[in-house]
């Protein structure tokens, strides 16, 4: 009886190990081929004095990189289980503005995965076709990245639409205008949608540098339906921790805080390079003289996350 139990436990352990091993090997790496970058002389984007030789090694165009976040108080899809993470701002994206503050969008329509592109027509008259294929969620699953999908469904939340539509929008509008996510950067072993997964990982990497809720709370600034704050209180609290003044966006004539953008120049690739934090080059839409609401979220719109 004891022998049978030991044998069964042993077999169970072997099966578990086989499954774990299979799951481990099913994950496909998505990093680009940056072997040529070891011999490159790198400078921060928008600060280089000579032309960049390899646009996979350094960000060319879109060199003013913004890590952007939302403070939403509801999702509109609560009945479908789409909730906001408690005490945490959510991801908006990773944007490649040009060095002069302008920006390009939807730069590669062969990698257009946005079901509702906005704008639908680019300044040169090019029409951006709505994407009608499988959602980007299927791309993530194809690469065995259930860990990535879980994180995105926790911290990268849409308002009024599905999360995967939002993710497809952010990749198509922004990542396709960043040189280090070009398909050519992944070399001859490129697997379709590898760049998409690599971008999502890179967005999360940058997002984790800026725990906005914690930085504000540490300065005594927390969401409230009664207390209001000044723009300088928000700016000073975030500058004290990041070394620079980010852009703060407000709705309702500048009185309701809704978003933050952290500005950078990048040395190396956007995926793994060094981000130098800069003062915002965009004027805040929050009132500079009045009081600003940083509202609490609707209780039924939040969930506690680990």
Catalytic residue among 164, 165, 170, 259: 170
Domain span holding position 288: 36-303
Residue 6 within a domain:
no
Catalytic residue among 164, 165, 169, 174: 174
Residue 43 within a domain:
yes
| pLDDT value at residue 8 | 45
Q: Catalytic site residue 92?
A: yes
pTM of the predicted model over 0.85: yes
CATH code at position 166: 3.90.730.10
Catalytic residue among 92, 193, 264, 293: 92
Q: Catalytic site residue 127?
A: no
Residue 11 within a domain:
no
What is the token pair recorded at 59?
């960000």
Q: What is the pLDDT along the chain (306 residues), one digit of tens a residue?
A: 444 444 444 444 444 444 444 444 467 899 999 999 999 889 999 999 888 999 999 999 899 999 999 999 999 999 999 999 999 999 999 999 999 999 999 999 999 999 999 999 999 999 999 999 999 999 999 999 999 999 999 999 999 999 999 999 999 999 999 999 999 999 999 999 999 999 999 999 999 999 999 999 999 999 999 999 999 999 999 999 999 999 999 999 999 999 999 999 999 999 999 999 999 999 999 999 999 999 999 999 999 998
Asked if residues 203 and 170 have their Cβ atoms less than 8 Å apart, the reply is: yes
Residue 25 within a domain:
no
Q: Report which of 186, 91, 168 is spatially closest to residue 128, judged by C-alpha positions.
A: 168
Residue 133 within a domain:
yes
Residue 31 within a domain:
no
Phi/psi zone of residue 35: left (φ > 0), alpha (ψ -120 to 50 degrees), beta?
A: alpha
Total domain count for the chain? 1
Phi/psi zone of residue 117: left (φ > 0), alpha (ψ -120 to 50 degrees), beta?
A: beta
Residue 26 within a domain:
no
Residue 15 within a domain:
no
DSSP secondary structure string, 58-119?
A: S--S--EEEEEEE--S--S-GGGT--EETT--EEEEEEEE-TTS-B-----GGG---SS-SS
């Amino acid at each position: 009886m004891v022998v049978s139990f030991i044998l069964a436990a042993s077999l169970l352990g072997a099966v578990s190990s086989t499954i774990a091993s299979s799951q481990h090997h099913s994950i496909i790496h998505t990093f680009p081929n940056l072997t040529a970058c070891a011999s490159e002389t790198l400078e921060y984007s928008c600060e280089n004095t000579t032309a960049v030789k390899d646009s996979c090694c350094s960000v060319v165009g879109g060199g003013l990189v913004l890590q952007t976040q939302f403070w939403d108080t509801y999702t509109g899809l609560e009945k479908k289980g789409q909730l906001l993470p408690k005490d945490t701002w959510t991801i908006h994206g990773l944007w490649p503005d040009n060095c002069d503050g302008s920006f390009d969008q939807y730069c590669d329509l062969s990698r257009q995965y946005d079901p509702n592109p906005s704008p639908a027509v680019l300044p040169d008259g090019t029409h951006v076709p709505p994407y009608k294929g499988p959602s980007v969620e299927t791309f993530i699953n194809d690469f065995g990245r259930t860990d990535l999908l879980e994180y995105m469904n926790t911290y990268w939340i849409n308002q009024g639409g599905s999360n995967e539509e939002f993710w497809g929008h952010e990749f198509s509008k922004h990542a396709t205008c960043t040189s280090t996510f070009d398909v050519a950067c992944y070399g001859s072993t490129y697997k379709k949608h590898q760049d998409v997964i690599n971008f999502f990982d890179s967005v999360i990497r940058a997002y984790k540098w800026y725990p906005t809720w914690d930085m504000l709370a540490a300065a005594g600034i927390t969401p409230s339906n009664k207390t209001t704050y000044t723009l300088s209180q928000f700016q000073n609290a975030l500058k004290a921790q990041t070394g620079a003044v980010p852009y703060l966006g407000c709705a309702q004539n500048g009185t309701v805080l809704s978003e933050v953008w952290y500005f950078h120049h990048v040395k190396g690739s956007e995926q793994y390079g060094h981000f130098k934090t800069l003062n915002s080059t965009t004027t805040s839409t929050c009132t500079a003289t009045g009081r600003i609401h940083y509202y609490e979220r609707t209780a039924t719109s939040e969930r506690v996350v680990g």
